[in-house]
Chains A and B, each alone.
Chain A
Amino acid sequence: MHKQLKAHIDRLKAAGATYVDARWYPVEEANYLMMWNGNLKETTSSRESGLGVRVLYKNAWGFSASSDMSNLSTLFDKAFDNASVAAERVTFPVRLAEKDAIQASFKSPNQIDPFGVSLANKIDFLKSMDEKLNQPGVVQRASEMMFVRKQIVFLDSEGSEIEKNIVEVFPSIQVMGIDSTGETHSRKFSPDRLGVTRGWETLDMQLFNENAERIVRELNEVLVADPCPKEDRSVILLPGIMFLQTHETIGHALELDRILGYELAFAGGSFVTLNDFGKLRYGSEKLTARADATLVNSPGSFGYDDDGVPAQNNLLIDKGILVGAITGRQMVEEANAKAKRQIFDGSSGANRATAFYRVPIERMTNINIDPGEDGSLDDIVRNTEKGIILDGDKSWSIGSNREQFHFATEIGWLVDDGKVTKVVKNSTYKGETVKFYNSLSAVGDESTWVVHYVDNCGKGQPNQIMQLGHGVPVCRFDNVRIGE
């Protein structure tokens, strides 16, 4: 197959294409199980294979994909034809940043292949979790596990040839209860990064048991709690909500295609402009954020992106100042040209596609916040006069330029005079992105830093769901409106 793909790439190059790549998925398998209130509602496996072809011709992109590999000529020709039509309307010629031709492979680290574990064992785990969650106060309980295994072969007209073998594991448990006013509340757990490998070993029974007990206990506390007050307080975001805050208002805001207006018709733009790089005080001096695709064991670490660029660790925000973005080969060239200065040295290796039938676009890798020097969670609480600790994403809504946001969380704990006083329900907070990050007044140390996985980041048209990670510490922000 490699030979055939190479031959077609060469054929289109000879026909005038300036760049051609092919992403062949010999196999992508998934296995999903979900138990709801003791019923095994989903026992699903899937398998797909196919090829996506991307062609750059006369400064415009064309893409075509099919699961039918029996007629490669037609598939390559369609991509070329699509580029030919797109070439009728070009305003800024597509140029690709330089990269090295790479022959390499990447394998995500896992000890126990989840596809080698029997279905019976997987169901036993779910049954055990279901029994553990079936406690007073819990009216709905759900346990689920998703396993993905994919092989991706990438070839391009610049001589790169990369094979990736990736295994993903996403388990979670959730409980729901109804309070005396008839409102539903929920609490959930999904394991953060546990170590350097991620296979079936992620399903650590003791860890899940401990967290099952915790989320049931916390749900019951929420069920009898007072509503969250509507006032200004310091918000102390635990990693279970800080990851989403980072995702929505740093990650998406710093995707270079959004900044350049490529998502305006759907996902939106960004309040960040090219002029802001090196100048904008995005947050307080306590804020340092990075895109680190070299972090061992995360879905945001994939070896090489779908431009064939190696994974990197790049600063995005350095002590509060905006210095970088999430980029691919095309966008950095366009940004530098439009800014009339060299903002970006090259691609940051973040151009990814969710499947063979989707085109690569700028996606988050591991968008992390560096740990700080403000101690443990207890230390931060002790130094907070009037605050609220928040955890568990329940709802998130962000302005189209990522300039403002509204989040609801599963649980809140009020803090007064350095002490946790009580649990509150229906906790929410809102803010404006730059003002919010400039109010960052405490960043927890290494002891508070965890890598949270995201399995459902949506972006693009046609839409693409991507998997990634966020390594974040506990963070405190001051004068934030809560309870609305």
Chain B
Amino acid sequence: MKEKILQTLTSLREYACSKGVDAAFLYHEEDSYLMRFANSAISLNTNEHLIRLEITVYEDRRRASYEMITDLNKLDEMKQGVDIAAEMVKYAMPLNYQPSIPHIKENYADVQGFDPELGMMSGEEKLAYFNDATKDLETDKITLSGIFSSGINILAQISTKSEYTQYFQTSDAQVTIVLAHADLKWEVTAEQSAHKKDDLKPEELHAELSFLIDRYKNEPAQQVPVGSYDIVFGAAATAEMISFMNWIGFNGGLMKRGFSFLTEDHVGKKVFSEKFNLMDDPSRLETFPLTRDSMGMKREAFPLFVNGVFQKFTWYQDDADEFGEKPTGHNVPHKSLVLDAGEMDVNSLQDLVKMPKDKDILYIPFLHYMNIVNPSKGLVTASSRFGALLLKKDGSVVVPYNVRVTQSLLDIFGDKVAWMSKQQTVYNTSASYGARNPVAIVLPKFIRVNDLEISHSNSSY
């Protein structure tokens, strides 16, 4: 298959060259499978096999793109796409900067993230995984929801600048299990990310869910008063906030356009807690990394924050071209973000509940529907969801109704950070909008942040 893909791209390049067209070709193929559960049944079992081709044509400072869903047997249709893009570019308006055309300097293939056993898991195996992860946890009232999303993802590229190609193939799986009470409407969740089949460990999810269900079944539930709390965020909540930081934080293009809480003045300055070390590290296979960007640039470890000090912005090629910046190898559909572990030996929910506490702690594992209230201040808002707990100083546990947090990322990751777990975990942040694009963040299991405001507290589940 790889040979056929690269041969197709080479043929398209030859066609474009024969027409005197400067062009770049991006091939994306996905074989996606999603088994969805609801009300303890498989509510949907689906698969999509899709091939997308994006053709970008350049003429001086003009640029135009044509995208198609196609298949490898339709070379003529793809060539027509080149003709259409070449026709469009004539009418496009020149940019006020020179756009760079991808220039791949050597043939490059990266399939180290591909595990065929994961990519081709059968429906029966996925069902068995779910059955193991939820064994004896479901009742008439406590029902199962969730997804097992898995697939194979291929990216391949060529441009008229050279005859060389790039090829990336990965497999991935993202599992979410939710157990919810049909009447009371509480929900607990456990999630897993896999880049190889061995990563799938249903027993770990089972242990997590068992622990949470016990709490939710047996501990009192209550509306917690609004006000200031020391909050321990779980990996899902932290990953969501880091994902937003990737958007309104260290993205150079958005900074230039005024959509960032960071400015050029922040470079080299302490912005966050000294415990905060964040890096884009394409060597971490758990993050489904792209080791070259689409411009052919080798991607290497890229520190973003070291001991809380902001290091540098990342630049998409087009933003770098427009603003006269040096590209940073970030013309990729996703980064490979890694947040360093901390010192605290609290590595499981059981550890967290058991640890001695100087005051009550609110545990928020998951933040629902985060949005940006004020990008210049890094102000975001979201609600807690899925298994929050109020861990009382006296060792007791209360189940809180959901609360809303409206806070600046500058505060959340600033000097209020008390500790981070010694152990890291992998949180899969993939969305299934559009083309398959597996992405995950490596980060500490828990982060404690003191003195954060809860602005709303539900009066029931």
Residues of chain B within 8 A of A401, CB atoms compared? 185, 461
- Choose, from B33-41, B213-221, B334-342, B356-364, the stretch at the interface: B33-41
Select one of B146, B147, B381 contacting A406, CB under 8 A: B381
A395: Cβ under 8 A from any B Cβ:
yes
B368: Cβ under 8 A from any A Cβ:
yes
A297: Cβ under 8 A from any B Cβ:
no
A411: Cβ under 8 A from any B Cβ:
no
The answer to whether A261 touches B38 (Cβ under 8 A) is: yes
B383: Cβ under 8 A from any A Cβ:
yes
Tell me, rounded to whole Å, the shortest Cβ–Cβ distance linking B95 to chain A. Answer: 5
Tell me, rounded to whole Å, the shortest Cβ–Cβ distance linking A127 to chain B. Answer: 7
Q: A119-B88, A399-B402 are in contact. Are A261 and B39 (CB under 8 A)?
A: yes
The answer to whether A123 touches B145 (Cβ under 8 A) is: no
- Choose, from B105-113, B369-377, B419-427, the stretch at the interface: B369-377
Chain B residue with the shortest CB-CB distance to A83:
B45
Q: A43-B88, A46-B67 are in contact. Are A404 and B383 (CB under 8 A)?
A: yes
B431: Cβ under 8 A from any A Cβ:
yes
Residues of chain B within 8 A of A40, CB atoms compared? 92-93, 95
The answer to whether A399 touches B455 (Cβ under 8 A) is: no
Residues of chain B within 8 A of A357, CB atoms compared? 48, 50
Interface of A (DSSP majority class): mixed
Q: A64-B46, A91-B39 are in contact. Are A184 and B147 (CB under 8 A)?
A: no
Tell me, rounded to whole Å, the shortest Cβ–Cβ distance linking A344 to chain B. Answer: 18
The answer to whether B66 touches A46 (Cβ under 8 A) is: yes
Interface 0/1 of A77-108, CB less than 8 Å to B: 01001110110111110000000000000000
Residues of chain B within 8 A of A62, CB atoms compared? 45-46
B127: Cβ under 8 A from any A Cβ:
yes
Select one of A140, A269, A400 contacting B369, CB under 8 A: A400
Q: Which of A49-96 contact B (CB under 8 A)?
A: 49-50, 60-68, 70, 78, 81-83, 85-86, 88-92
Interface 0/1 of B123-141, CB less than 8 Å to A: 1100100000000000000
A458: Cβ under 8 A from any B Cβ:
yes
A15: Cβ under 8 A from any B Cβ:
no
Interface 0/1 of B429-450, CB less than 8 Å to A: 0011100000000000000000
- Choose, from B7-15, B68-76, B204-212, B293-301, the stretch at the interface: B68-76
The answer to whether B368 touches A399 (Cβ under 8 A) is: yes
A173: Cβ under 8 A from any B Cβ:
no
Residues of chain B within 8 A of A263, CB atoms compared? 38
Q: A89-B40, A184-B259, A395-B373 are in contact. Are A127 and B93 (CB under 8 A)?
A: yes
The answer to whether B44 touches A265 (Cβ under 8 A) is: no
Q: Which of A397-424 contact B (CB under 8 A)?
A: 397-401, 403-404, 406, 408
B292: Cβ under 8 A from any A Cβ:
no
Tell me, rounded to whole Å, the shortest Cβ–Cβ distance linking B123 to chain A. Answer: 3
Residues of chain B within 8 A of A224, CB atoms compared? none
Chain B residue with the shortest CB-CB distance to A399:
B383
Chain B residue with the shortest CB-CB distance to A267:
B369
The answer to whether A82 touches B127 (Cβ under 8 A) is: no
Residues of chain B within 8 A of A183, CB atoms compared? 374, 376-377
Q: Which of B1-55 contact A (CB under 8 A)?
A: 32, 34-51
Residues of chain A within 8 A of B398, CB atoms compared? none
In the assembly, what is the distance between CA of A261 and CA of B182, in Å? 8
Q: Chain B interface: which size bin?
A: 35 or more
In the assembly, what is the distance between CA of A118 and CA of B87, in Å? 12
The answer to whether A395 touches B48 (Cβ under 8 A) is: no
A386: Cβ under 8 A from any B Cβ:
no
The answer to whether A359 touches B68 (Cβ under 8 A) is: no
The answer to whether B73 touches A462 (Cβ under 8 A) is: no
The answer to whether A264 touches B178 (Cβ under 8 A) is: yes
B317: Cβ under 8 A from any A Cβ:
no
Select one of B48, B123, B257 contacting A140, CB under 8 A: B257
A-B contact count (CB 8 A): 247
Tell me, rounded to whole Å, the shortest Cβ–Cβ distance linking A439 to chain B. Answer: 16
B411: Cβ under 8 A from any A Cβ:
no
Tell me, rounded to whole Å, the shortest Cβ–Cβ distance linking B430 to chain A. Answer: 10
Chain B residue with the shortest CB-CB distance to A130:
B93
Tell me, rounded to whole Å, the shortest Cβ–Cβ distance linking B411 to chain A. Answer: 15
In the assembly, what is the distance between CA of A428 and CA of B404, in Å? 14
Residues of chain B within 8 A of A67, CB atoms compared? 49-51, 69-71
In the assembly, what is the distance between CA of A271 and CA of B458, in Å? 12
In the assembly, what is the distance between CA of A118 and CA of B40, in Å? 53
B325: Cβ under 8 A from any A Cβ:
no
A465: Cβ under 8 A from any B Cβ:
yes
Q: Which of A39, A264, A403 has the most CB of B within 10 A?
A: A264
B280: Cβ under 8 A from any A Cβ:
no
Residues of chain B within 8 A of A269, CB atoms compared? 180, 185, 187
In the assembly, what is the distance between CA of A49 and CA of B68, in Å? 9
Chain B residue with the shortest CB-CB distance to A177:
B258
The answer to whether B376 touches A43 (Cβ under 8 A) is: no
Residues of chain A within 8 A of B368, CB atoms compared? 268, 399-400
B318: Cβ under 8 A from any A Cβ:
yes
Residues of chain B within 8 A of A119, CB atoms compared? 88, 91-92
The answer to whether B41 touches A182 (Cβ under 8 A) is: no
The answer to whether A44 touches B64 (Cβ under 8 A) is: yes
The answer to whether A88 touches B383 (Cβ under 8 A) is: no
The answer to whether A139 touches B258 (Cβ under 8 A) is: yes
Residues of chain A within 8 A of B97, CB atoms compared? 39
Top-4 shortest CB links A-B? A85-B123, A48-B69, A462-B432, A86-B42
Listed A/B pairs (5) with beta-carbon separation below 8 Å:
A39-B97, A70-B73, A85-B127, A89-B41, A90-B42
A residues neighboring B (CB under 8 Å): 35, 38-50, 60-68, 70, 78, 81-83, 85-86, 88-92, 118-120, 123, 127, 139-140, 176, 178, 182-184, 260-266, 268-269, 271, 357, 359, 394-401, 403-404, 406, 408, 426, 428, 430, 432, 458, 461-463, 465, 484
